[in-house]
Each structure stands twice: as structure tokens, then as C-alpha cells.
């Protein structure tokens, strides 16, 4: 029997740097660098993620066969030269890209240094995969579809913002590109900045704010983005800076930053840009709603063309814009597609997987076999590591304020946690392997009763400390989805927003957004049996087959290790922390159970009075 083929996939020198390991066509490890560095969206070389992937796969660095990176500085080279010659952009706009490209070309040396190898000891072949091809592969080559239309939409990568075509078996045939300087991702970024959200990755805040407004500025948005035949679009560049003055971007081993993308003319069109400290007004909400509507209009314009070109009913979607779950949930009714697949790390971190599978299925000519049905590909920790973390926090946990219990049977654990959720507790839930991608999907989650009409305020004031307009998501038993949502398919990665059935909305106010929708996660027992059992236990008690699920963090990357979960629990007001089979309960101030929209059972009445009289829960 021959030796196994190992492929290290990388997203390097960009936001959300990441690494994955594919062995004989199976994804055995995948993680973002931010989870190890504890810096959100960490940009640079993912050295810690690389080391963990190799340890997890039992691969010595010198044994690696292939390294695949989701960038190819030589791609679209002639287009780059022609644009530079024609437009003569400010040299500072080019300098950042040139330096970044040189790092990608020197990836072999950096990897050798990271792994403590001399360059000649790294025998792996290094493959540079064009950015959007890696995105497309990250969706199609791990999907359950053997034939599908495939699209990638984001800001920019290798001089391209959008790419689409056809996936057939192991091939990806590109039919169209939208090149720099035209980009839906750049459009959405400019509006995000105009609305006062300047952190890298803040676009999701605009998506959350949009349902509070009306698209009263859609006519102005159509001046920014013009739809043209063939599914294409173009920006009116007078409103942007990236093509002329450039947008400063910093990817220097830390938090990524992106400079101002919009020109003063955008303020003439939409009004003065909001400062981060300014109060949000109806005007800001309407701008957000209009930007979301414009993005959807352009996206559906492109996807309808793709549907007509390919005649396929199935779509695989990737790229940073594929994180727009609101638009994703509307694709089927607006484009003619009947099924959609979006993998959990659709943004740049997911390009590591796409690059690796490009090598396995295309460069090496292997048939497809692996399908990504779950996102649990990150680090996991055993009972010994949990006990070590508890011992290290012993001084803080000693006394009357906490109680620690251990459970032998998972069924008993789920019953007890479901009871506490029913009583109003906020629960930190730390189990199994960490999720791949930005969403907490039941292994690194904070959970709450979705019937609580005070849950958003509670979580934001005591733990999350985020904007009140951002919704919380529901995790629902897959077999109960159609009863509660206007959706009948699988949405395992929280990648789509769907309408909650009207007769159910008042029952679950904590996860019902202002427009009656929820960004749902469907949970199957075969993908996450423990989380499925917990939700089932909650359903048995309450009749509600879903939980409020938000990421286990407090303005930081999602927790990775048991010690980080304990730290977050201790500095916030969570009521219960579950680490594997161990429950750490805060008992100094019992949690109060709030009636769910006034419809809770009678046993909740006394607890709700306690909440009104000043309980901290």
C-alpha cells in the first residue's frame, strides 16, 4: 500500500488567514489563525494554524507533499499591466499589492522558517491557485453536487472581484470574470464605511441594520452600481477611491485594516458620512436597506444569467459576499436555482480548502469523494485538558459562588442543561471540535431560551456588548424546520436567512428579527449528535425545537481552548458553563426565567417578577 498524499492549504497574507490539511482527499483539519492568536480577522502568515494542522494530521513538516495557497500573483498579469499603464494610479496604491505579492511568492521560505526546516528539507511542491478559482473550488469540490453552476463574489483577489462558470465532476470551467476596479464587495465596503463601521469585516452590521430601514435611496445606489447585459455590473468610479488614490491595506501579522474607499462625491449623493460615535438615525437605516437592496439586485442579475447559461438547477456560491446570508436566503425565489450550497467559511479563510482541493482533484487528477456536511474540523480537547483548565482556575471557582458537577451520561447532561435553559439560564456550551468558519454551530456556542423577549438585551448587556440591531440566530432540529420556517432544505452552516412562519414568531421573539426572519442553522443528529440531543431535550420540556445560538466570545475571536471558555465565563454573567461533561454553575445570584412573550408556563411567573425587581439575569 502506497504512502498517503498530504496537502497543506493556506490563506496567507490576507484577513482571516487560515490553514487546512487534506490527506488522500479527506479534510482532516482546518482552522483560522485568529483562534490561536486571539486577534480578530488576523492577517499574515498562519503559522499557528499550520503547526496545529500538521500535529492533528500526524504529519511531519518534511513529509508534506504539496502546499497550496489561494493566491497567484501571476494571474491576470496583462490586465494589471494595461490598467496601470492606462490609469496611472497613485504608486502608494500599488505598493501594498506588490509587497503582498512578493510575500506570496516567498511562501516556501516562510513556511520552512515557520516549521523549523531548512529550505531544502521542505520537499513539498508549492502551488499558487488563482484567488477566485480557489473560492469556486472551496464551494464546488466539497459540495454534494457533481454538476452545478458556481460563482465567487468578493472585494478583490488577483485583480478579479467576481467569477462564475460551471463545475462538472472535478473540473471548473470559468465563463466570466468581473475585474478590477468593479466590485460588489467594494461597493458594500464603501457604504459600510460611510455608515460609520470601520473595522475589518463590519459589512455584516449593515446587513443586520438594513431590515430596520426602507430602500428609499435605491435610485442613488443605482448610480453607484450599474447593471449591464450578460449578468455583469460596473461601478461609477467617481464615487470611489480604490482605482485612483488607492485604499491603504495592512496585512502585517495582526488586525487587518482597510482605508477609506469612498470619495467625497459619495457624501454629496448620500449625505455626510456618519462618525462611529454618532447616533444611528432613520436616514442611516434607510441607506443600509438601500445598499442591501442594491447588492441583491446586482447579485440576482448575475445569478439569473448564470442559470440561463448553465441550465443547472444547483448553485455553489463562495467569496466574502457569500457571507451575506440575507441575500442567500432569497436566491432560490429570485434566480431559478432550486438548490444552493455555501460552505461554512465562504470568505477568504475558506480559500485554503479550495486551494488544497484544486491540487487534489485537478492537479493530481483524483476523483471526488469528500463532502463537507459539517463544520467541526478545528481543535478538540479531552477530559484531561478540561480538568487542567479547571485546576488552573481553582482559586476563582472556590467558594459559595460556583458549583461544579460531572455527568456520566450525555442524556442526563442534556436533560439538566435543557432544564436550566428552560429556567432562563444563559449557557456557555463547549464541546468537541471547534467550528471551521466564523459561525458558532453548536460546539463553541452561547445558548439561551428563544422564548425570552429580553434575550437580546440580556446577552448584549451581560456578555456580547454589541449593537442592539444585530439579531441572534436559531439552531433548529432539521426534522422540525418546515414547521417553523418557510424553508424545507438543509442550512447546516447558518448561511441563509429565512422567514419564520407567522404563527411561530411570537413564540420565539429572541431569534425573530424585526422583519420576521432568522438566520437559521438546521441540526442533524448524524452531524452533531450531542447538540441535537440537547435541542431535543429542550423541545421535550417546552415544545420548542430550537435554541438561540450565538458565538462563544466577548468581542474577541470565538474561544478555542477550555481555558478561554472559562475566562470568558468568569468575566461575564453567564449562568452555566458546560465543558464536555462538566458543568460549572454560577449560583451566587440565581438566574431568573423571563416569560417568552408573555406565553411562558405558569411556573415562570414568579421568576419573571424577580427579573423585574432587579435580578442580574
Could you write out the DSSP letters of every residue in 357-390? HIIIIIIS-PPP-------B-S----HHHHHHHH
DSSP alpha helices (H): ranges in 115-183?
131-140
3-state secondary structure of 267: helix
The yes-or-no answer to whether 6-76+88-131 and 383-612 have a common fold is: no
pLDDT of residue 614: 29
Lowest-pLDDT choice from 1-10, 154-163, 570-579: 1-10
The b-or-e profile of 309-330 (16+ CB within 10 A means b, else e) is bbebebbbbbbbbbbbbbbbbb
Residues in Cβ contact with 287 at an 8 Å cutoff, skipping those fewer than 6 apart: 191, 194, 195, 213, 217, 270
User: E strands along 104-170, which residues?
Assistant: 125-128, 147-157, 160-168
Residue 429 · residue 445 · CB < 8 Å: yes
pLDDT higher than threshold 90 for residue 164: yes
Provide the grid cell at 250. Answer: 495592512
Provide the grid cell at 134. Answer: 480557489
Lowest-pLDDT choice from 341-345, 540-544, 602-606: 602-606
Neighbouring C-beta atoms of residue 555, cutoff 10 Å = 9
87 versus 245: the higher-pLDDT residue is 245
Lowest-pLDDT choice from 58-67, 116-125, 144-153, 203-212: 116-125
136-346 belongs to CATH 3.30.420.40: yes
Q: What is the pLDDT of residues 98-127, one digit of tens each?
A: 566 667 778 888 998 998 888 678 999 999
pLDDT of residue 120: 76
How do the domains of the chain map onto residue ranges? Answer: 6-76+88-131, 136-346, 383-612
What is the share, in percent, of the chain residues with pLDDT greater than 90? 81
CATH among 3.40.50.300, 3.30.420.40, 3.90.870.20, 3.40.50.2300 for 383-612: 3.90.870.20
pLDDT of residue 106: 81
pLDDT higher than threshold 60 for residue 617: no
pLDDT of residue 602: 32
Q: What is the end-to-end Cα distance of the chain in Å, rounded?
A: 59
pLDDT of residue 124: 94
Question: What does the DSSP 8-state code read for residue 345?
Answer: T
Q: What is the pLDDT of residues 579-599, one digit of tens each?
A: 999 999 998 654 444 344 333
Regarding pTM above 0.75, the answer is yes
- The arithmetic mean of pLDDT across residues 234-261, rounded, is 90
Provide the β-strand partners of residue 43.
254
Could you write out the DSSP letters of every residue in 171-223? EEEEEEEEETT--HHHHHHHHHHHTT--STTTHHHHHHHGGGS--TTHHHHHH
- The arithmetic mean of pLDDT across residues 521-545, rounded, is 98
Q: What is the pLDDT of residues 375-393, one digit of tens each?
A: 999 999 999 999 999 999 9
Confidence of residue 248 (pLDDT cuts 50, 70, 90): confident
6-76+88-131 belongs to CATH 2.30.30.90: no
pLDDT higher than threshold 70 for residue 245: yes
Q: Is the dihedral of CA 188, 192, 193, 194 positive or negative?
A: positive
pLDDT of residue 88: 58
Provide the β-strand partners of residue 164.
151, 176
pLDDT higher than threshold 50 for residue 49: yes
Neighbouring C-beta atoms of residue 448, cutoff 10 Å = 26
CA 302 vs. chain centroid, Å, equals 23
pLDDT of residue 287: 98
**Alpha carbons 186 and 287: distance in angstroms, whole number:** 16
**Alpha carbons 103 and 107: distance in angstroms, whole number:** 6
Q: At CA 121, angle to CA 120 and CA 127, rounded to 5? A: 75
pLDDT of residue 236: 98
pLDDT higher than threshold 70 for residue 343: yes
pLDDT of residue 601: 34
**Alpha carbons 579 and 388: distance in angstroms, whole number:** 12
**Alpha carbons 586 and 226: distance in angstroms, whole number:** 56
Element at 356 (helix H, strand E): helix 351-357
Could you write out the DSSP letters of every residue in 492-533? TTS-EEEEBPHHHHTT-GGG--TTSEEEEEEE-TTT-HHHHH
3-state secondary structure of 18: strand
pLDDT higher than threshold 70 for residue 600: no
What is the share, in percent, of the chain residues with pLDDT greater than 70? 90
pLDDT higher than threshold 50 for residue 68: yes
Mean of the per-residue pLDDT values for the chain? 91
- The arithmetic mean of pLDDT across residues 135-161, rounded, is 97
Q: What is the pLDDT of residues 314-327, one digit of tens each?
A: 999 999 999 999 99
Which residue is associated with the grid cell 504512502? 3
Provide the β-strand partners of residue 6.
23
Can you give 407-454 as a three-state secondary structure string? CCCHHHHHHHHHHHHHCCCCEEEECCCCECCCCCCCCEEEEECCCCCC
pLDDT of residue 100: 62
Amino acid at each position: 500500500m502506497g504512502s498517503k498524499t498530504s496537502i497543506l492549504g493556506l490563506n496567507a497574507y490576507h484577513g482571516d488567514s487560515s490553514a487546512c490539511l487534506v490527506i488522500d482527499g479527506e479534510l482532516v483539519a482546518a482552522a483560522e489563525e485568529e483562534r490561536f492568536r486571539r486577534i480578530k480577522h488576523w492577517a499574515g502568515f498562519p503559522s499557528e494554524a499550520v503547526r496545529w494542522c500538521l500535529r492533528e494530521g500526524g504529519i511531519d513538516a518534511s513529509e508534506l507533499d504539496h502546499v497550496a495557497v489561494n493566491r497567484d500573483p501571476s494571474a491576470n498579469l496583462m490586465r494589471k499591466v494595461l490598467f496601470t499603464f492606462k490609469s496611472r494610479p497613485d504608486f502608494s496604491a500599488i505598493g501594498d499589492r506588490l509587497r503582498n505579492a512578493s510575500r506570496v511568492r516567498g511562501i516556501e521560505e516562510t513556511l520552512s522558517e515557520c516549521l523549523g526546516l531548512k529550505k531544502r528539507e521542505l520537499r513539498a511542491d508549492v502551488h499558487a491557485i488563482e484567488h477566485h478559482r480557489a473560492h469556486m473550488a472551496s464551494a464546488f469540490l466539497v459540495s454534494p453536487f457533481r454538476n452545478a453552476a458556481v460563482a465567487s463574489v468578493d472585494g478583490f483577489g488577483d485583480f478579479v472581484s467576481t467569477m462564475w462558470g460551471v463545475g462538472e465532476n472535478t473540473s471548473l470551467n470559468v465563463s466570466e470574470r468581473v475585474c478590477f476596479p468593479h466590485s460588489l464587495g467594494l461597493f458594500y465596503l464603501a457604504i459600510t464605511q460611510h455608515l460609520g463601521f470601520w473595522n475589518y469585516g463590519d459589512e455584516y452590521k449593515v446587513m443586520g441594520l438594513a431590515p430596520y430601514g426602507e430602500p428609499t435611496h435605491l435610485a442613488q445606489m443605482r448610480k453607484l452600481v450599474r447593471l449591464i447585459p450578460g449578468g455583469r455590473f460596473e461601478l461609477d468610479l467617481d464615487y470611489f477611491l480604490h482605482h485612483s488614490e488607492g485604499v491603504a491595506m495592512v496585512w502585517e501579522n495582526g488586525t487587518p485594516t482597510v482605508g477609506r474607499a469612498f470619495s467625497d462625491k459619495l457624501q454629496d449623493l448620500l449625505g455626510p458620512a456618519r462618525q462611529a460615535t454618532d447616533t444611528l438615525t432613520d436616514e442611516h437605516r434607510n441607506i443600509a436597506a438601500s445598499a442591501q437592496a442594491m447588492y441583491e439586485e446586482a447579485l440576482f442579475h448575475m445569478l439569473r444569467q448564470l442559470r440561463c447559461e448553465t441550465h443547472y438547477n444547483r448553485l455553489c456560491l463562495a467569496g466574502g459576499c457569500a457571507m451575506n446570508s440575507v441575500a442567500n436566503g432569497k436566491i432560490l425565489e429570485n434566480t431559478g436555482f432550486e438548490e444552493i450550497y455555501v460552505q461554512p467559511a465562504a470568505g477568504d479563510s475558506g480559500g485554503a480548502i479550495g486551494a488544497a482541493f484544486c491540487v487534489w482533484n485537478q492537479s493530481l487528477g483524483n476523483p471526488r469523494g469528500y463532502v463537507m456536511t459539517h463544520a467541526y474540523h478545528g481543535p478538540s480537547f479531552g477530559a484531561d485538558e478540561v480538568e487542567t483548565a479547571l485546576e488552573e482556575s481553582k482559586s476563582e471557582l472556590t467558594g459559595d459562588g460556583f458549583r461544579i458537577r460531572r455527568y456520566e451520561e450525555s442524556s442526563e447532561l442534556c436533560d439538566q442543561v435543557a432544564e436550566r435553559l428552560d429556567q432562563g439560564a444563559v449557557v456557555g456550551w463547549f464541546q468537541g471540535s471547534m467550528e471551521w468558519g466564523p459561525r458558532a454551530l453548536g460546539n463553541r456556542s452561547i445558548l439561551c431560551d428563544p422564548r425570552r423577549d429580553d434575550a437580546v438585551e440580556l446577552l448584549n448587556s451581560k456578555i456580547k456588548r454589541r449593537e442592539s440591531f444585530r439579531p441572534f440566530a436559531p439552531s433548529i432540529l432539521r426534522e422540525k424546520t418546515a414547521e417553523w420556517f418557510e424553508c424545507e432544505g438543509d442550512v447546516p452552516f447558518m448561511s441563509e436567512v429565512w422567514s419564520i412562519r407567522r404563527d411561530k414568531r411570537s413564540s420565539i421573539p429572541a431569534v425573530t428579527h424585526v422583519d420576521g426572519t432568522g438566520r437559521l442553522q438546521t441540526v442533524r443528529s448524524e452531524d452533531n449528535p450531542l447538540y441535537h440531543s440537547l435541542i431535543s431535550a429542550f423541545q421535550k420540556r417546552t415544545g420548542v425545537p430550537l435554541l438561540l445560538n450565538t458565538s462563544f466570545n466577548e468581542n474577541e475571536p470565538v474561544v478555542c481552548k477550555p481555558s478561554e471558555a472559562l475566562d470568558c465565563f468568569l468575566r461575564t454573567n453567564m449562568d452555566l458553563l458546560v465543558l464536555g461533561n462538566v458543568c460549572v454553575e454560577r449560583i451566587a445570584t440565581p438566574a431568573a426565567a423571563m416569560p417568552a412573550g408573555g406565553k411562558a408556563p405558569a411556573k415562570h411567573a414568579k421568576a419573571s417578577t424577580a427579573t423585574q425587581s432587579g435580578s442580574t439575569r
